[in-house]
Structure formats: structure tokens, C-alpha cells
Amino acid sequence: MYLAIKRRSPTRHPGADRSQLAGATIQRMPDHDGVTLPHALTVGADRTLRAGTTRRRFLTWSAVVAGIAMTPQLCPGTASAEGSADLFAPAPRDNPFRLGVASGDPLPDGIVLWTRLATDPTAPRGGMTPGSVAVRWELATDPRFTSIVRNGQELATELDGWSVHVDVRGLDPARDYFYRFIAGPHRSTVGRTRTAPRLGAPLSSLSFAWTSCQRWDQGLFTAWADLAQAAPDVVFFLGDYIYEYPIPATGPRAGQPRPESVTHEQMSLEDYRDRYALYKSDPNLAAAHASSPFISAFDDHEVENNWAGQISEDDVDPRVFLARRANAFKAWWENTPVRANLRPVGPDLNAYRRFTFGDLVDFSVLDTRQYRSDQADGDGVHKQDAVTADPARTITGAAQEKWILDGFTSRSRWKFLAHQTVISDLARTTGGERKVDVDQWGGYEASRHRILDGARERGVSNLASIVGDIHRTVVSELKRDYVDTSAPVQGVEISATSISSAGDGADVDSQGKAIAAASPHVKFGNARRGYARATLSPTNWRTEIRVTDSVSTPNSPMRTAATITVPVDRPEINVS
């Protein structure tokens, strides 16, 4: 979404409901009947979509299905092989754990264990034989599995792309565990994970890391190897895990095997599955997943660049776009270590949720794509105006906004928003005018005002925002308004750079200079690739900006470009 494409659709103001479970906000998904659409799309019937169409109507998913069935060249085809998911396939002859293992969404008493079977990540269906495969799993307190505390068996079905999501409960809080999967004669690699501390328990420190934007064809995943060695308590991936574009034959990965679907933009469920398999076959990414639990969010490229609610980048029929979004969300769920109850219903995926670590911190993981109003002024970089300031427009939707504000009343010392796009205005001067990227919160000024005003009214003194998206590190002050010089500083925002998107980059580039010149609230910037790793304590938040000078050459060393320290109760940015 770094580059914006103009669209001409009106605004919308959706929302969603949530329920609480063991310290994390988890949606409860109803059962649903499936229907077959083009591209082996499985959807749920009669689910109300919370975003308005170009005529400000509310569509139901059943209406979308009916509309597609009546649209020339979009009619459902014959039943796909997904219908054979209840048949058992023989045990794989070749190693089916080529996509690695992962864990995620840690709770004080539980963790999600994940794997997806594929004997050949570049082959159709990952090289798997149609049907279901029995997969055993084991969880132990030691990496040699001499003390197994939980075990069981799951079915990896063709219906879910041979993915496995195991929600293990009854575990001890704040403890390391080790896990593996077994299918036939094959064992997976061993993964290490960690549960969250008990809710409200005194916590002296938490190590965590965050990053986003890993475009496979634009660079090697060097940063993941460095992060895997650090093995933080938890890792936040904040969007653009994959990119939907065709993959060229040139670049840093020229000559590496790839599926046939890379020749066109992703549309079908199989296309998206292929892309995840390609990315997950990278050994550095697999090592990072095996080293720490992940908490994951999606942004735009998991579906399509700069989408907003029901509106696509190219303003296609909303019914067609929602079918694509359903494919994309299904593939995201299949390939992400999240709980089964985040499984999408058609094009709806209720992904925002909250994670609490002891008495130290709440992380509110946001969704700023699915419920947002259309970007202002046709998208892109523009001056702020009456449209960007319109109080009827939203980047979060009304229900999620209320949920965010409600979270500010918790007793945790720190309140973190973990999400996709920067809250701060990263302004630059173009043609004598101050302009911002209206795909970010600067294009939704009223949303920013309501969130930051709500934090101030609730007495939040340690507000932080961690984001990705912009392919650079930017450390800035959080303010409700960046034109009003009297607006107080209410918190600190750190945008971590990309894993590989935009290529090698530079310590200082032209865009970074332009942002620094027009944005006095920005205190540090760097446009190399990498990630951010941090230690949080009751007294401060300390972040190392880890970067590499090259993602176009193998084994380029990582270095710390800067260390950012923020003291408790004072939103001051100290750079060393």
C-alpha cells in the first residue's frame, strides 16, 4: 500500500462485535454451510457484511453469492476436489513439513500450534494427495521431549489446505514449551514457544519484536535469521506477509523454484495458497516462526493493494472483490498460527483482539482495513482538508473504536496499539503545500482525535503505537493534531521497517529527508530493511532498530542503527 491508486467510491462506516476469553479478545464464529464458487472458494451463507457498497447498501454474503451466480463468466463451476476432504490419503512418502512449524496468540494457559503439510511447496496443492492426513502433535517442557505434557492428533484436510491449528490449553503461564508434529514416518522440526504471564501478575520485563512487509521477489529474508537467534518472548507481524503481484523472473531470487501461479496476480484460493507456500519455504522465515510465538495481523497485500472495506484498488464490482477477499482471508487463516475461531466466514474475518502480559502491558491488535471508510481525495498523497477531517469517516469502524477505548481502562502499566499504518502525520512539502499519505491515519483525522482524546480522558500515560507498512523506520511523537503546535505529546510511535519490501534501501533517502524537514515530531528515521526488537519494563521501553545494508546479497550482516528509549510516564524519545 506504499503507493496509492486513485478510486472514486464513497465512504462507509462499519463495525463488528467481540467477546472476551482468557485475556484475549476472541470472536465466536457460528457454524455455516459451504457453497462452491469459482477458484474453489468456500464461504458461509447469510453473513451480513458490515461495509456499505457504492450505493451505501448493506450486502449479505448470500446476496453476493447470488449476484456472482447471475454474473456472466463468474458462475460457479463444478464441485472441486475440496469435497473429498473426508477421505483419507496415504501417509506422505516425502517430508510433508516443508513449510515448517509455528505457534501464536499466547495466553496465560494456552498457545496455538500450527503447521501445514506440503511435500513440494512449488507444486499444485503443495504436492499433496487429495484427502486428509492424520497428524500427531506433542508439547514438552524440554527440546528432547523427555517430558511430554500434552499430545494429540488432528486431521490435516484438503478443505483447509492441509493446515493444522491446535489450541492447547491447561498450560503453565510464562513458561517455555517445545513442540513438534508427526505424520506417518516423518517428524517436523522442533519449535519453541512461550505462554503469556498470568493476568495481573507482576512482570519485570518482556522481550518482543515487530516487523512487516516481506516481498519475496524484492529481497532475501535476512532479518528473520537475526530475529530467530534473539528468540524474543513474542513477535508481532503487522501486515503484508505476502504480496499479490505477479513475480518477475529477475531480482535477488532469480532462478529459485516457484509455482506456476506467480505469472499472474493472485485471485483464487489456490493462488493465495501457492503464494504462502512459496514464502514459508524460506528457511530464515521458518526459523523465526520456530523460535517464538507470533501475533499476526493483516494489511492490504494479503488481499490487494490499498483495499478499503468492500472497495478494491481498481473499483471492481464489490461482489467480485468480496469473493476475492474471501479467498484471501481463507488462505491467511490457513497459513497463520491463530485460533480456529478466527476462521473467516466468507469475506468476513474478525481479527482484532487483545493480549495482556501480566500487569505490564496490553497489546491491542487492530484491523485498519476491513472497516475503514474509503480513502480521501482519490487516495495518494494530498493536503489535509474537509474530507480528511470529516468526523463521519473512520479507519477502524465504530465497534472497533469503542473496543480500543474500552481497553484503555485496564490496569496494565503500558497500552500498546499494534497495527498496520502510522497514526502520526508523516508530512512532506510538495509544491509549497503540506501533504500526507491519506491511506494512513492522517487521512482519517477524526479517528485519530477520538482515539487520542479517549486515551487522555481515561488517564493513559504510557501510550505506544507499533506499526509497519511504510518500508522504513520512523520514530515519532503521538499527537492528536500535527498542525496545531500547542497539541501535547501523548505517546510514542515506532514504525519498524520492512523485511525486504523496496529492496536494499539507505540509511537516509530523499523521502526520509522530506519527512524530517516537514515533520518536527519525527525524531529518527532509517530506510534500510530489518525489524525492531524491544525490551519493556515497568520503568522504560527500549527498542533496538536492527537493519542490514543489503537484502539483495546473501548473509549480509545485521547491525543496530539506533537504540530508542522511552521512560515510563513521560513520552520522551531518547535516541542513541
In whole angstroms, give the CA distance from residue 352 to residue 364: 7
Q: Which DSSP symbol is given to 333?
A: H
**259 against 20, higher pLDDT:** 259
Q: Of 110, 114, 222, 216, which Cα lies nearest the Cα of 160?
A: 114
Boundaries of every domain in the chain: 101-194, 206-575
Average pLDDT over residues 2-16: 36
Average per-residue pLDDT for the chain: 88
Q: Which pLDDT score is estimated for 29?
A: 32
Q: Which pLDDT score is estimated for 92?
A: 82
Q: What percent of the chain has pLDDT over 70?
A: 85
Q: Which pLDDT score is estimated for 90?
A: 74
Q: Which CATH architecture has domain 206-575?
A: 4-Layer Sandwich (3.60)
Q: Which pLDDT score is estimated for 62?
A: 45
Average pLDDT over residues 203-219: 98
Indicate the pTM of the whole model: 0.88
Q: Which pLDDT score is estimated for 87?
A: 60
Angle at 444 between CA 511 and CA 333, to 5 degrees: 85
**435 against 15, higher pLDDT:** 435
Q: Under 8 Å CB-to-CB from 118, ≥6 apart: which residues?
A: 96, 98, 99, 126, 127, 128, 162, 277
How many residues would you count in the chain? 576
Q: Is the pLDDT of residue 389 over 90?
A: yes
Q: Are strands 294-297 and 234-238 parallel, antiparallel or unpaired?
A: parallel
Reported in sequence order, the residue ranges of 468-519 that DSSP labels E, i.e. its strands, are 473-478, 491-495, 505-506
Average pLDDT over residues 319-347: 97
pLDDT in tens, 80-105: 333 333 466 777 889 999 999 999 99
Q: Are strands 41-42 and 36-37 parallel, antiparallel or unpaired?
A: antiparallel
Q: Which grid coordinates are listed for 284? A: 530464515
pLDDT in tens, 434-446: 999 999 999 999 9
In whole angstroms, give the CA distance from residue 417 to residue 451: 11
Q: Is the pLDDT of residue 517 over 50?
A: yes
Contact 445, 516 (CB under 8 A): no
Average pLDDT over residues 347-362: 98
The conformational region for residue 546 under phi > 0 = left, psi -120 to 50 = alpha, else beta, is beta
| Topology, domain 101-194 | Immunoglobulin-like (2.60.40)
pLDDT in tens, 156-192: 999 999 999 999 999 999 999 999 999 999 999 999 9
Q: Which pLDDT score is estimated for 1?
A: 41
Q: Of 523, 537, 459, which Cα lies nearest the Cα of 206?
A: 537
**Local confidence band at 334 (pLDDT 50, 70, 90 cut-offs):** very high
Per mean pLDDT, which range of 78-87, 113-122, 256-265 is the poorest? Answer: 78-87
Residue where the block lists cell 514449551: 177
* Torsion sign, CA atoms 43, 49, 50, 53: positive
3-state secondary structure of 181: strand
CA 526 to each of CA 55, 238, 496: distance values in angstroms, whole numbers, following the listed order: 43, 18, 9
Q: Are strands 414-418 and 361-365 parallel, antiparallel or unpaired?
A: parallel
Q: Which pLDDT score is estimated for 435?
A: 97
3-state secondary structure of 238: strand
Q: Which grid coordinates are listed for 362? A: 496490553
Average pLDDT over residues 496-524: 97
Average pLDDT over residues 477-482: 97
Average pLDDT over residues 451-476: 98
pLDDT in tens, 27-78: 333 333 232 233 333 333 323 233 333 323 334 444 444 444 433 333 323 2
Q: Which grid coordinates are listed for 116? A: 501445514
Q: What percent of the chain has pLDDT over 90?
A: 83
Q: Is the pLDDT of residue 276 over 70?
A: yes
pLDDT in tens, 504-516: 999 999 999 999 9
Q: For residue 283, which phi and psi values (nearest 5 degrees)? A: -65, -30
Tell me the residue type at 430.
T
Q: Under 8 Å CB-to-CB from 513, ≥6 apart: which residues?
A: none
In whole angstroms, give the CA distance from residue 213 to residue 41: 26
Q: Is the pLDDT of residue 26 over 80?
A: no
H helix and E strand count, the chain? 8, 31
Q: Which pLDDT score is estimated for 89?
A: 73
